[in-house]
Structure 1
Amino acid sequence: FNDLQHTITGWPGGKPNADDSTRPVPSKPFPKKVLIFSPHPDDDVISMGGTFIRLVDHGHDVHVAYETSGDFAVNDDVVLQQLDTVRELGFADRFDEVKRLIAGKVKGQPEPRELLDIKAAIRRAEAKAADRSFGLDPSHVHFLNLPFYETGGLKKAPLSQRDIDIIVKLLREIEPDQIYAAGDLADPHGTHRTCMEAVLGALEVAKDDAWLKNCHLWLYRGAWLEWDLGMVDMAVPLSPDELIKKRHAIYRHVSQKDIVPFPGSDSREFWQRAEERTQNTARLYDKLGMAEYQAIEVFVKMF
């Protein structure tokens, strides 16, 4: 009972000037340098949005790194709608040009790079809007565009040293005290697995760096599965207001809303999956005798 109770904390970055002997996160240093890795441009807010918001609100030096562009998950209709908006505002008119580009796509062939660049820009704008909604410093948003993803098609390239080197460079620039990464290996096209392998490969390269000796890696899970409670090392309760803030951040990813391009076997929208999953976790903690919360996000500590 005590072990499970001690996983619960409202201070994912550690509580300053507090006895941390039974807390999942050390109190020092405070504030911490935090780096959140997100495989796609929305996994951060879907999977750990409440914790992300809490870390920013507590004044930590929070960075987020979007590992892939997510361009392949944007529907053509979304591109045309965005370009139509730009045209209606009088800023530019590329609607007919891009419409012809879409009409010329060949099934089974990679999408035109020019079209993918537009889709990637849409997803970058959505990610920045989500981060802006809860006050993250815009200079702390990093788009890595890992090369393995940029094939223009459904099939991605194998992980390479180029991918790992990009992450190593960012790690050494920030020298984080905390790292959050998507630890789930289940997603429809394997991107989460490859991104996790890239982070672990980068940490292996940096294993002798001085900053890594006091750094901790926390794993969250994506939109498909949740950690078993017996594995959980940190549980962050969310208030009703924080759950709404998280939902609104997910809403900023307009291209992924209503019509989920790659839902897997689950037809629910991402915000619905996120809320129902975290609320179910809270109910499980409640049934085991813990305090009753609106929702709980859970993490496994790798080191």
Structure 2
Amino acid sequence: MKFAISSGIGLFIAFLGLQNSGMIVGNKATLVSIGSLENPLVWITIFGLLLTVVLMILNIPGSIFIGMVFAAIFGIVIGQIAVPTKFISFAPSLKPIFGQAIYHIGDINTVQMVVVVLTFLLVTFFDTAGTLIGLAQQAGFIKNNKMPRVGKALAADSTAMMAGSVLGTSPVGAFVESSSGIAVGGRTGLTAVFISIFFLISMLFSPLLSIFTAQVTAPALIIVGVLMAQNTAHIHWDRLEIAVPAFLILLGMPLTYSISDGISLGMITYPICMIAAKKI
């Protein structure tokens, strides 16, 4: 199941990349369909994707980052990405949002609000657990079906979530996009430390970083999705009691647009299949 979860996350990431690029668009009749190649923004992603693939085949270090840089330059050249008029700006004040979660904690005084909080808790937990399993599998940390220091990982995630709520930000936690860092060699906590430092510095250069649009970063998501989907080779497709839950996870994540929903589909069917196969 862990291989299905990591691969499903890969498919989900790739789907996000295709959607962000405009290569996949919504369709009322068929749910999704191919985007228009007449849209010049799509060609930014296509250019970046092809360049990144070639660089990776040639084993060029930093292929994903190089691909994004040249995709951004390509977008500027064809006039689809605006050149920033300034390169440095200061971050807005936190005063309007800082501490609002604490000031309004007393509002959770009804059954309805408690249900809402518990619902978010369960959704966040399964999303985080699925993400951690998928990323740990990609990084090669899972040995003998066990993930080392999982308690500390969950504690770090929950601490970040609480800190983010106090600061007034959107939820802070483990995100599947971290797989792009793993794909280029990130393995230890030191990677996250340096990323956080660079994020802090990047606040001053937000106008410059605005050239890295969704179409520019989409190739990275697609490539990482390909790398994570390699785990499907480890799934025992010849055993139906494993193949069915695994397939539902793989298909469920991108189609439901939710990691937790995809995992739920697999977890519900897995024990039923195992009982039918007399493995439980």
TM-score normalised by length of structure 2: 0.24
Structure number with greater CO (CA < 8 Å, separation at least 6) is: 2
More helix by share: 2
Higher strand share: 1
Larger radius of gyration: 2
TM-score between the two structures when normalised by the length of structure 1: 0.23
